[in-house]
């Protein structure tokens, strides 16, 4: 799956996360998240994989294809 800026922003919106929250929960730098969401391609596949895993660990599945991109909340914990 290609990680798109739109999918990342949609995933953060579902979780109410800032870019800093995503960086911390994914184990990547804030700069990497900022660059990704600014439209740059993740320079390392490992960075994109960590971001995707961070979302998945919190119940968000990212969707990206030729005709669509976004995020789906798969599981949410009640607080």
9: pLDDT strictly greater than 70: yes
The predicted model scores a pTM of 0.85
The Cα-based distances of 20 to 30, 64, 66, 68 in angstroms read 6, 23, 28, 26
> Per-residue confidence at 2, pLDDT binned at 50, 70, 90?
confident
* Residue-wise pLDDT tens digits, 23-58: 999 999 999 999 999 988 665 788 999 999 999 999
**Distance, CA of 60 to CA of 35 (rounded, Å):** 21
Return the CATH number of the domain spanning residue range 5-73: 1.10.260.40
């Amino acid at each position: 799956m290609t990680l798109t800026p739109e999918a990342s922003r949609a995933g953060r919106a579902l979780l109410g996360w800032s870019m800093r929250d995503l960086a911390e929960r994914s184990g990547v730098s804030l700069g990497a998240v900022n660059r990704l969401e600014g439209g740059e391609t993740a320079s390392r596949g490992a960075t994109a994989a960590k971001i995707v895993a961070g979302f998945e660990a919190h119940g968000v599945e990212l969707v990206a294809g030729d005709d669509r991109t976004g995020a789906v909340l798969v599981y949410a914990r009640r607080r």
